[in-house]
Structure 1
């Protein structure tokens, strides 16, 4: 029985993993989807990047488990990538699903044209508003899946997106599987590509969009279980 902690990206909470979690539990795994502070049922809780790192570290500590597989999607790859220095030998593996990675001195908004995001955060009391249904076109999602995402999304606390990461333990040291979703671009971002050159990172490609927990939950669950087993 493998303990999984699942962390979704911007605007989403633990609920985003419902179908993946059901697949993993049916296979006998111990699954713990996590909502980060300021999102979903934790909306209204003040949050910065450090808060989200603590959320993850505290959840692993609460479980008291070893050989944990820590899964981060999209934005949450940054706090997931920062948490292992505090989790230590309780961690078996990291799986990053089409995710960002922490780069020392840089934020989620660094390195890409993100002025529109900063402007949106400033215009909405410090929060990044969720996407609209049209923004999910071309990502392998059905109309019903898009509706679920849009209806469940909550504004994302902007401080977590603009605060710079302080990397003390390089992600290159961590046994990591990176899942690249091909409808969101054929190649990993440069920071990820550099890490994939190391001998502790593996690449898995999925022929779907940026939200595979909705578009391909069974396939993603299989990838997570195989990654945990080192396959």
Structure 2
């Protein structure tokens, strides 16, 4: 939830998906438009309107539904709500080195889950570059998802999001260092937003790191 990465907490699937799954030969590609819209709305609410991978802002009009386990390899999970996530278009149509997220991932399989508890505690950032550091799975972050894109697009956005937060804290507590309770309050505000700020992952990491959480 996600320049992820944050644990995504799934709500109950939409009733329309539950009903549709019971129909003969049900599959995601042939899913009725109204059911797909309900799925998308539910996924967006789960993820607070940010891409499951890069954490840029997405909406009903510009999102895609990602099958974490690819449809071609795991047909039985085609309509499994736990396998569905909202993602950005990942620079679809661009050269491969500019593609990110699901568009770059294609049919590759990631060795970690987006719904494991405390995923955010396993991920760190380099503030100077905006780079995601996920030591155990760094190759997958770099090559399969391209979240540390060589063109610097996502990393620059993370740096900007972090700098904006730092400036906000500096202005608010101009004459002193913000206390841990004050920083925790800011952290709670960021995490509780119905629509999370784009690239909030690096901001949450920064605040948790300063508070030794």
The two structures have a TM-score, normalised by structure 2, of 0.29
- Structure with the bigger percentage of strand: 1
Larger Rg: 2
Q: Give the TM-score taking structure 1 as reference length.
A: 0.28
